[in-house]
Amino acid sequence: MNEYKKIELVVGAFVLAGIISISWMAVKLGQIGGVGASGYALEAVFEDAGGMRSGSDVMLAGVVIGRVSDVVINEESEAKLTLLIHDDISITADAIASVRTKGIIGERYVRISQGGDDTLLQSGDEIEETESAINIEDLVSKYIFSSSEE
Amino acid sequence: MSGELVVTHNWFVRVVGKLGRNVLGIVSWLGDMASITTSSLALIFAPPWQGRHVVLQLYALGVGSFIIIAITGAFTGMVLSLQGYYTLAKFGSESLLGSAVALSIIRELGPVLGALMLVGRAGSSITAEIGIMRVTEQLDALQMMAVNPRARIILPRIVAITIATPLLVSMFDIIGLGAGYVVGVEMLGVNAGAFTGEMVAKILPEDLYAGWVKAVVFGFLVGSVCTYMGYRAVPTTEGVAKATTQAVVIGSVGILMMDYILTSFFL
Amino acid sequence: MIRSEKLTRRFGDVTALDQTDVSIREHAITVIMGGSGSGKTTLLRLLAALDIPTSGSVWFDGDDLAQVSSKRLYELRARMGMVFQYSALLNSLNVYDNVAFPLHEHTKLDESVIRTVVSMKLEQVGLRGFEHLMPSELSGGMAKRVAFARALAMDPEVVFFDEPTSGLDPISAGVVTTLIHDLTQKTKMTSIVVTHDVQAGLAIADHVILLWQGKVIAEGTADEIRQSTDERVSQFIEGRPDGPIPFSRSTTPYIDDLLHSSGGVNS
């Protein structure tokens, strides 16, 4: 019986260690119930999200301030992104959200540029001003088109 | 001419017949395994509660496998970091090392290597133990003492290993990430902030769920295959030896096949 | 109290037991004898409901063991005990826990009461004081006596013995047969013994059933069997190598095999 109590203790410690491992991964790596979920949500509609995926960074002045939590197509066949922003960061109502690329072939992120407005966006609000992804192919074709016209 | 036809015909019939027999054999084998596993699991709600035996099996199968899991996890993380560094350095993207290591370990290598180690360490011992109980008539003795061996022997083992696998795989993941960090940052000189930052940025909750679901499924697979092989072992010493080998082989192949299926669901 | 009716058990094409009717007398020792492959172990396993007959029934008082629900079977098993050929002690438990096993499983008795019962049972088989030993530390004869004590733990009405003397030295064999005889008389239980040990079997039997090729060829008291005029019976009792039960089990003519002619193995 005493032997069994000892085994029970070791098994308890083992299960506890496992649960701590799982929670550590969930909170630190997956940010489940962590920073992402405790932030507030803003929406932004883009004509071209440029292959943005949920999980991409949202940056302000080159600092990560949140993540893209959802990418869907709205009724007008535009890309509607839901951005989860850290609670301690406030975004002005006239801020501009643009889809940018880290480096030339790097991954997409959403860049926020603050405006000068005094009103701040609340959870669920939409960032009105958006700039779609810059498509290199479009740029190239525009250049060829404009140069052939001359 | 007609003689030749008859020969081809026979050959064809033989091959198709053999194929059919094998397929039927596998199907009936799977059916038998499913029936023993489900009939054992159904007893989880039937008194008497086998909690004490689940705890004992968690000790034998879970705690007992920790060392091997820790060693495998550490070396997996180290080699991934080393190998990944030299590949990524060619593109000048060493900063992605953290996310490369973390994604490989959490989505694939943790569950798969962890489960393969568990088949070898815990699964083989399950099959051998139950097989020996069969040879020495201990399973019959339990029956005669009105104790259902499915409830007493099979059920606690399946439950214990299904619980233990995700726990062990999470420990494998963390040890692997730690070891990968040490090699990548301390030894190869990757920027520590980039390593952890990229790691955290690229790991989504879905990746974690994928890893855990895999771990649970693999644990259950190992439990049901290995208990079944032991329970149905031919009751001789050679029979048990053969069953143990087969359990490890079938368990390992099953894990890899199931991994492909699950990965295709989660991508 | 136990009676079989047209009991048949086939394994594939082999008929191990063919339309057998036996009846076991209460409070007496019934010895089932026969050579290897005569079906005696099959009969014992069917009577103990460890195997399911191909056809026919086994009546245990009012219940047909071939038909009862597993729940009812577990209730009936509380009235049975069995001593297996290789003792079948649970090798993870010591002698005390093995003997106490049925009590722990099926009663809510206080541990002190169980301790008393275990001491009594071990005293009956002459092994009190060996409680702390593990099964692996016991000799064959001692293990069998512990198994006997375990079978008696629940004070069963019927105890089955599978080859109680096989693999034992003559003294241990004598001890075990004497124990079966004495305890059957003292506790008024019904004993069913399967053995190929003719002398030991006849010495303790109140009733003898002789099987040959899955059929009962003789039945009666030990004296009736000894004086039987049936050639097959006297051959078995005297242990003559050749007689109506042929020495050669070859199925093809010897001369054909030697000459490699048709009818041999090569055809």
**% pLDDT > 90, chain C:** 14
Q: What was the pLDDT predicted at A35?
A: 45
Of B154, B122, B129, give the one whose Cα is nearest residue B218: B122
Do A62 and A82 share a structural domain?
yes
Of B228, B226, B223, give the one whose Cα is nearest residue B32: B228
Task: Judge whether A18 and B171 are in contact, CB under 8 Å.
Answer: yes
The C-alpha R_g of chain A, in whole angstroms, comes to 23
- Using pLDDT thresholds of 50, 70 and 90, give the confidence band for residue B41: confident
The HSE-up count of residue A44 (CA atoms within 13 Å, CB side) is 31
Distances (CA, A) of B203 to A31, A66, A70, A71, B55: 9, 14, 16, 17, 33
- Beta-bridge partner residues of A46: A79
Report the residue from A7, A21, A29 with minimal CB separation from B56.
A7
User: Are B143 and C85 within 8 A, CB to CB?
Assistant: no
Give the residue from chain B lying closest to C90, CA to CA.
Answer: B138
> pTM for the whole thing?
0.80
Q: Is residue A142 part of a domain?
A: no
Do A128 and A58 share a structural domain?
yes
Higher-confidence position of B88 and B47: B88
Segment B1-21 mean pLDDT: 72
User: Are A21 and B173 within 8 A, CB to CB?
Assistant: yes
Do A82 and A10 share a structural domain?
no
Structure tokens, C204: 């303790």
Decide if pLDDT at C249 tops 70.
no
Q: How many Å apart are CA C21 and CA A36, to the nearest integer?
A: 77
Task: Judge whether A100 and A65 are in contact, CB under 8 Å.
Answer: no
Give the highest mean pLDDT range of A59-73, B78-92, B196-210, C225-239.
B78-92
Do A123 and A53 share a structural domain?
yes
Domain tally, chain A = 2
Q: Which range is least confidently modeled, B152-161, B191-200, C101-110?
A: B191-200
**% pLDDT > 70, chain C:** 95
Task: Judge whether B157 and B223 are in contact, CB under 8 Å.
Answer: yes
Q: Is residue A148 part of a domain?
A: no
On chain B, the residues whose CB falls within 8 A of the CB of C146 are none
Segment B15-25 mean pLDDT: 89
Do A115 and A87 share a structural domain?
yes
Q: What was the pLDDT predicted at B232?
A: 92
- Using pLDDT thresholds of 50, 70 and 90, give the confidence band for residue C258: confident
- Using pLDDT thresholds of 50, 70 and 90, give the confidence band for residue A147: low
Task: Judge whether A91 and A127 are in contact, CB under 8 Å.
Answer: yes
Decide if pLDDT at B63 tops 80.
yes
Interface of A with B (CB under 8 A): 4, 7-8, 10-11, 14-15, 17-19, 21-22, 24-26, 28-32, 54-55, 57, 64
Segment C47-74 mean pLDDT: 86
Q: Is C72 in a helix, a strand, or coil?
A: helix
Q: Does B186 touch chain C (CB under 8 A)?
A: no
- Beta-bridge partner residues of A42: A83
Q: Running DSSP on this structure, what letter comes out for residue B28?
A: H
Domain borders along chain B are: 50-266
Segment B247-255 mean pLDDT: 95
- Using pLDDT thresholds of 50, 70 and 90, give the confidence band for residue C246: low
Q: Is residue A100 part of a domain?
A: yes
Decide if pLDDT at B72 tops 90.
yes
User: Are C90 and B138 within 8 A, CB to CB?
Assistant: yes
Q: How many Å apart are CA B142 and CA C150, to the nearest integer?
A: 11
**Interface contacts (A, B; CB < 8 Å):** 71
Q: Which range is least confidently modeled, A3-7, A85-89, B27-31, B141-145?
A: A85-89
**Interface test with chain B among A14, A65, A68, A70, by most B beta carbons within 10 Å:** A14
- Which domain, by its residues, includes A10? 2-32
Q: How many Å apart are CA C137 and CA C142, to the nearest integer?
A: 10
Which residues have a Cβ under 8 Å from the Cβ of B147 and sit 6 or more positions away?
C101, C105
ipTM associated with this complex: 0.83
**Interface contacts (B, C; CB < 8 Å):** 50
Do A100 and A58 share a structural domain?
yes
User: Are B138 and C82 within 8 A, CB to CB?
Assistant: no
Report the residue from B136, B138, B144 with minimal CB separation from C81.
B144
Classify C1-79+158-167+189-267 by CATH class.
Answer: alpha beta
Q: How many Å apart are CA C167 and CA C36, to the nearest integer?
A: 15
Structure tokens, B267: 């991508």
The three state secondary structure string of C109-138 is CCHHHHHHHHHHHHHHCCCCCCCCCCHHHC
Distances (CA, A) of B206 to A29, B218, B263: 11, 18, 12
